[in-house]
Amino acid sequence: MTREVIKPGKFVSLTYSITDSEGNLLEQNDIPVNYIHGGDKELIGGMDSAVAGRCAGDRIEIDIPAEDGFGPHDPDLTFTDDIDNVPPQFRHLGAEVQMQNESGETMLFYVTHIENGKLTVDGNHPLAGKALHVTVNILEVRDATVADMQSAESSCRLN
């Protein structure tokens, strides 16, 4: 019996962990992430090509530069204001603040810093500007079923 190889149209199930350049754990996902390889759902920073041709049971380590991961940190997405100008429900670290630009587009910002009567919100992804080391454990590779394809389509519509 041959082992299934990751290629377009295959159902893939994997877990992963992400560390920064100093080895600090940034994210760990022990609940399997499932996707159809080559479909609409893309993995970050070239992970798609790194897992291509691999099989269930393989463990892969990938170094992803900031520009290929979540992009560079954009200072234009960071704002600081007097805390008195901010509604009380947003005056804590980690608070989610939805902001709207002149065009009516909305974006989610997070309170990242509070000090000396000032509050800072940041619209960058928390991993923006960071080089990442990703460890991927491939759990399952098989032909995608119709149900897998429908699930992939509905999850893409939600994003």
pLDDT in 10s for each residue of the chain, 159 residues: 568 999 999 999 999 999 998 999 999 999 999 999 987 777 777 788 899 999 999 999 999 999 888 889 999 999 999 999 999 999 999 999 898 888 888 989 999 999 999 999 999 988 899 999 999 999 999 988 888 877 765 554 333
The pLDDT assigned to 63 comes to 93
Quote the pTM value: 0.72
pLDDT at 159: 34
Amino acid 1: pLDDT: 52
Q: Decide if 56 contacts 141 (C-beta within 8 A).
A: yes
Q: Is domain 10-70+127-158 classified as CATH 3.10.50.40?
A: yes
As a three-state string, the secondary structure of the chain is CCCCCCCCCEEEEEEEEEECCCCCEEEEEEEEEEEECCCCCCCHHHHHHHHCCCCCCCEEEEEECHHHCCCCCCHHHEEEEEHHHCCHHHCCCCCEEEEECCCCCEEEEEEEEEECCEEEEECCCCCCCCCEEEEEEEEEEEECCHHHHHHHHHHHHHC
Closest CA to 108 of 121, 99, 118: 99
- Closest listed residue to residue 51, CA positions, set 12, 9, 3: 12
pLDDT at site 72: 92
Q: What residue ranges do the domains of the chain occupy?
A: 10-70+127-158, 75-122
- Fold observed for domain 75-122: Thrombin, subunit H (2.40.10)
pLDDT of residue 154: 53
